[in-house]
A and B are shown apart, each in its own frame.
Chain A
Amino acid sequence: MGYFLTQLARLAENVALAIGSHLTIAVGNIFFLGGSTMFCFGAYALAISQKLGVDPWLAAAISLICSFIFSFLFVLAYTKLSNDSFTVFTLASMLAFEALVKSWDDVTGGVLGIAGIMRPESIGKLKELVIFQIIFMIILLFAEYVILKTVLGRSLLGMRESKQFVESLGTSTKMIGGAAIISSSLMAAAAGVTTVWRIQFLDASFGSVAMLILSVTIAILAAKPKIRWLMLSAIFVTFLPEVLRFTPLPSAMVGHLRILIYSVMLIIVLLTISKKLMPQKRFI
């Protein structure tokens, strides 16, 4: 039962994390790789607030507000940098944040991390937490569905093909991209909050490259800007490495192999499927 609940929780967390990447990468073709940084940021903001004695729900709210403010750093980079430089910047943000977390011992606990993070009383048991996470995942999926129906979604879909076409209609692509990055960051931060409530421990490896590869793999494998594609992709990517559990490999190796599987999958997806599913950029 515990294994089943944990897998469900992981699926809900992965979907919540990947929705943001899906919105930016698969829908808007904006290669925003800061999702895992925001996942980690949200978790740390929560853990530090709780360490200071703040109630878990209030800490979650503080975490989301801080994440909202922090996400403007990415928006600023998006408006100032070229596409490629922006992608590198968002990737580097993860390494910078990890270095900051490791070196700022007093606040983050350094490499030892922060232990004993409490869940809110109402979702204190794992089963309750998983139900909460699934409801939360459905809310986020619905949020993406609504976004896709609004001017933001349509403009993002338009930007997949040509930013110039969208601008020619009187829409600022910087504003649309910025809104997508903020939404994506908030979703990732919220995923970080619920994840840290489940594992109740946090260290610098929390939002590592593995999380980044995982979320980007789900987003790119989904490719089409449809919620059902995202769900199918998340289910596939979450459960595929579980076959390793039925092999006689040591558990430490299984962890590394999981990352390897995600990486190989991402490369295969980038080389094959994404080319067929992602629209061709058009120029004026």
Chain B
Amino acid sequence: MPKEILEISNVSVKFGDAMILKNISFSVNEKEIVGIIGPNGCGKTTLLNAISGFVPLESGTISYNGQDIMDLPPYKRAQLGIGRSFQHAGIFRDLSVEDNIVIGLEKAEKYPWYWMFTPKFRNKTDRTVKESLEEVDLLAHRKSLAGILSGGQIRLLELARLKLFHGNILLIDEPTAGVAPVLRTQLAAIIRKLNREHGFAIVVIEHNLKFLFDLVDKVVVLVDGEKYMEGKPEEIQKDKRLQEIYFGGSV
């Protein structure tokens, strides 16, 4: 029986008078990849923001590893082990590519503040940065500002940083947004590697359904802020109503 690490129970989120999420419930097991799909504005990103602690809940509960995390601020949730990537990539465009890795690494490894003045930590950091960037073909851009990278390279950099994160779940928001088709296979391979080799459970939002169905173990479909259905990718694809109404006839 796989261990449940994230449980979302009857979660509702309200912005002003508008109910963005209505009684959403699902769970994520250890080393499971869960995809979230739904039309634009159905509340997918809001759901990830609620799990990360960036938006308050109107009602419901979220627990992580059996612990209620409702009262924890976002940074505490990250410290507990909930990693996050963002729709427009959480990369600091005014920092160098190297610093974007280092800012994640020094926090994940709990380096002391003076680490950069000690050769031991400097060498370790240098090695890790090199390995991380080599893996995503960005070593040549090590000293460049992250802002000059292409959309796909920025995504790869974000995933390289997520790999260093110490936790057991990653929330990834639209990894293929603004990414050239040629890089999508590489992105999918990295996400799979994060799951299989590094043991992360992953919740991923994606509009590219082929990309998503090839990747995930389970899909949650949101429509108008409500959970429409949940199941394995094959089950979702077979759902007649979903095909007709949401996917326009076929997947």
Interfacial residues, chain A to chain B (CB-CB below 8 A): 149-152, 154-155, 157-158, 160-162, 164-173, 279, 282, 284
Contact = CB atoms under 8 A, between A and B. Distances in A.
The 3 closest A-B pairs by CB, nearest first: A170-B78, A167-B74, A168-B84
Contacts of A162: 90, 92
B92 A172 contact: no
Nearest to B108: A170
B95 A170 contact: no
Contacts of A167: 54, 73-75, 78
A26 to B, nearest CB: 12
Interface stretch (B21-29, B56-64, B98-106, B213-221): B98-106
B103 A170 contact: no
Contacts of B246: none
A169 B84 CA distance: 8
Given A154-B95, A169-B75, 4 more contacts: A150-B114, A158-B92, A167-B75, A168-B86
Interface in B69-116: 73-75, 78-79, 83-84, 86-88, 90-95, 99, 102-104, 106-108, 111, 113-114, 116
Contact of B107 (A161, A171, A173): A171
Contacts of B74: 164, 167-168
A173 B49 contact: no
B103 A158 contact: yes
Contacts, number: 77
Given A158-B92, A165-B92, A173-B75, A284 B106 contact: no
B116 A149 contact: yes
A246 B93 CA distance: 45
B12 interface: no
Contact of B78 (A157, A168, A282, A284): A168
B101 to A, nearest CB: 11
A151 B111 contact: yes
A170 B166 CA distance: 10
A225 to B, nearest CB: 8
A171 B86 contact: no
Contacts of B106: 151, 154
Given A167-B75, A168-B74, A173-B75, A284 B92 contact: no
Nearest to A168: B84
Contacts of B79: 170
B75 A171 contact: yes
Interface string B180-220: 00000000000000000000000000000000000000000
Contacts of B111: 151
Contact of B104 (A161, A169, A279, A284): A169
A162 B87 CA distance: 13
Given A170-B108, A171-B75, A160 B94 contact: yes
A154 B102 contact: yes
Contacts of A158: 92, 95, 103
A164 B54 contact: yes
**Residue from B79, B91, B92 whose CB has the most chain A CB atoms within 10 Å:** B92
B52 interface: yes
Contact of B49 (A151, A161, A172, A284): A284
A226 to B, nearest CB: 11
B94 A157 contact: yes
B95 A157 contact: yes
A125 B92 CA distance: 48
Contact of B103 (A149, A155, A164, A282): A155
Contacts of B95: 154, 157-158
B132 interface: no
Interface string B105-141: 0111001011010000000000000000000000000
Given A170-B79, A284-B45, A151 B90 contact: no
Nearest to B106: A151
A169 B103 contact: yes
Nearest to B53: A167
A154 B45 contact: no
23 contacts: A150-B113, A154-B106, A155-B103, A157-B95, A160-B94, A161-B92, A161-B93, A162-B90, A164-B86, A165-B91, A167-B73, A167-B78, A168-B74, A168-B86, A168-B90, A169-B75, A169-B78, A169-B104, A170-B78, A170-B108, A172-B75, A279-B93, A284-B90
A110 B210 CA distance: 75
Contacts of A165: 86, 90-92
Nearest to A158: B92
A279 B94 contact: yes
A29 B146 CA distance: 19
B94 A284 contact: no
A152 B113 contact: yes
B60 to A, nearest CB: 20
B151 to A, nearest CB: 14
Contacts of A284: 45, 49, 54, 86-88, 90
